């Protein structure tokens, strides 16, 4: 029986959804432990595409139980939208297969309003994530257990008072209607009610039984509130430490899987040393269809940054790499990867000869072009961790297993 954790090793959008879904088919339990609906996991099965924001990917397999842990922040309105969206795709979400921690915090319309008003420099997803975690940390937040006794309504009205000045200053296009938003929140909270539980018990029982368990990370290590490119980060612990604080259960992970995109992308503001704000970046964006699953924003694109990845590997103790979107590098004459920085913090690159062959859908490592193999081998050597899986396309079957996963 195995315990897995899957984390983004870069700035998010590494292609975790596909790998998480692939693994979750064999899992008994899938746990989300940080973040909220700022995540956007795209899963393609057959000709159906699913985009999930807050509900763990295990829901699609129909077999696994799913947990939204205490480290997460849950927007009842988006939760209901996601349940309805899944239902329209034939997937029923019930309290028998989804368990939401009573200690997780509620993202309210006021948080989303504050995000739009205050966090403009960061380029957030606008999902109210930062302001919700601010309330959590300053001990004025709304835990989901307050849905059980209805006390969230009182706290919501207190928030309206607390943030009165900002609310009154808002330009009309950002403004919030407090009465209307409270009514919407009450209706959504009622639907959320049956899912709320002590999720620690669910996870612990599963560990005790020796179940197969997957911890599903969201965003990426370089967006971690402590270890990321602060202040251009998200507001939760996206690295392995978050799995422990955000679930409340010690789990010994057999496989700590790094999802590494074959190049680098980021959305929103912040440093990005290997960014290619030029034709190369445009080509990467086109090849990789690099537009945000949550916001639709075009992603900034650039070459692989191995020193940054090394840091990410130190933080997370990764022991398995899943390399994604390799097929998007086909057609470049030359591929680059940063291998160190100079004293002005400019990246120094190593050049790799490119390949022209289309590799989409290849499942056999021996069928990859030689230059492509060389690129993979170098990543492996640099990071001193085996590349176990290589994703060669968006479909579930577009994958090469180089090292066993099970």
Nearer to ligand IMP, 256 or 300 (CB): 300
* Alpha-carbon span 106 to 195, nearest angstrom: 14
Shortest Å distance, C-beta 148 to ligand IMP = 27
Nearer to ligand IMP, 61 or 125 (CB): 125
Q: Which is nearer to ligand IMP, 130 or 302 (CB)?
A: 130
CB of 384 vs ligand IMP, minimal distance in Å: 26
CB-wise, 166 or 197, nearer to ligand IMP?
166
Contacts to ligand IMP by CB under 6 A: 11-13, 38-40, 122-125, 127, 129-130, 218-219, 223, 232, 234-235, 267-268
Using an 8 Å Cβ cutoff, are 162 and 140 in contact?
A: yes
CB 224 to ligand IMP: min, Å: 10
Cβ 17 to ligand IMP, closest distance in Å? Answer: 10
Cα–Cα distances in angstroms (integers) from residue 368 to residues 61, 237, 259, 335, 350, in the given order: 30, 36, 20, 16, 21
The answer to whether 105 is a known catalytic residue is no
Report the helix count and the strand count for the chain, using DSSP H and E: 14, 19
28 is catalytic: no
Closest residue to ligand IMP, Cβ-based?
268
Helices (H), ranges, 163-305? 164-169, 178-192, 199-209, 240-245, 279-288
* Residue nearer to ligand IMP on the CB measure, 8 or 394: 8
Cβ atoms within 10 Å, residue 345: 8
Q: How far is the CB of 130 from ligand IMP (least distance, A)?
A: 5
Q: Could you tell me the maximum CA-CA distance found in the chain, to the nearest angstrom?
A: 64
- Active-site annotation holder among 21, 41, 75, 224: 41
Q: Count how many residues are written for the chain.
A: 406
Closer residue to ligand IMP, CB minimum distance, 2 or 295: 295
Residue 68's DSSP bridge partners are 32, 100
CA atoms within 13 A on the CB side of 140: 16
Q: List Cβ neighbours of 55 (8 Å cut-off, separation of 6 or more).
A: 66, 68, 79, 82, 83, 86, 93, 98
- CB of residue 87 vs ligand IMP: minimum separation in angstroms? 23
Which two three-digit tokens encode residue 401? 């297993």
Q: Would you name the residues annotated as active-site residues?
A: 13, 41
């Amino acid at each position: 029986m195995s315990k897995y954790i899957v984390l983004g090793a870069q700035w998010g959008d590494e292609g975790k959804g596909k790998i998480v879904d692939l693994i979750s088919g064999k899992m008994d339990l899938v746990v989300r432990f940080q973040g909220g609906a700022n995540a956007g996991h795209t899963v393609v099965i057959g000709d159906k595409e699913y985009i999930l924001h807050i509900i763990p990917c295990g829901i699609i397999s129909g077999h696994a139980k799913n947990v939204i842990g205490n480290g997460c922040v849950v927007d009842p309105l988006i939760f209901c939208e996601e349940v309805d969206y899944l239902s329209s795709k034939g997937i029923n979400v019930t309290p028998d297969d989804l368990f939401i921690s009573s200690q997780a915090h509620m993202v309210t319309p006021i948080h989303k309003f504050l995000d739009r008003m205050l966090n403009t420099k960061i380029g957030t997803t606008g999902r109210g994530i930062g302001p919700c975690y601010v309330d959590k940390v300053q001990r004025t937040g709304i835990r989901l257990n307050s849905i059980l006794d209805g006390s969230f309504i009182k706290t919501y009205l207190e928030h309206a008072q607390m943030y009165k000045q900002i609310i009154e200053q808002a330009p009309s296009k950002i403004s919030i209607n407090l009465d209307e938003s409270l009514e919407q929140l009450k209706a959504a909270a009622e639907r959320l009610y049956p899912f709320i539980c002590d999720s620690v018990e669910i996870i612990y029982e599963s560990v005790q039984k020796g179940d197969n368990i997957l911890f599903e990370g969201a965003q990426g290590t370089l967006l971690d509130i402590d270890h990321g490119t602060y202040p251009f980060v998200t507001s939760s612990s996206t690295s392995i430490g978050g799995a422990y604080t955000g679930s409340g259960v010690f789990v010994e992970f057999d496989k700590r899987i790094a999802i590494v995109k074959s190049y680098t992308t980021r959305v929103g503001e912040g440093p990005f040393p290997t960014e290619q704000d030029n034709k190369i970046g445009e080509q990467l964006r086109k090849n990789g269809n690099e537009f945000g699953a949550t916001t639709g924003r075009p992603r900034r694109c650039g070459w692989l940054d191995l020193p940054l990845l090394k840091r990410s590997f130190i933080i997370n103790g990764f022991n398995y790499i899943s390399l994604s979107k390799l097929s998007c590098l086909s057609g470049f004459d030359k591929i680059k990867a940063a291998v160190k920085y100079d004293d002005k913090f400019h990246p120094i690159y190593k050049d790799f000869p490119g390949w022209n062959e289309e590799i989409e859908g290849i499942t056999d490592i021996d069928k990859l072009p030689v230059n492509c193999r060389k690129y993979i081998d170098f990543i492996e050597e640099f990071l001193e961790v085996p590349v176990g899986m290589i994703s060669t396309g968006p479909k579930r079957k577009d994958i090469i297993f180089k090292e066993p996963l099970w």
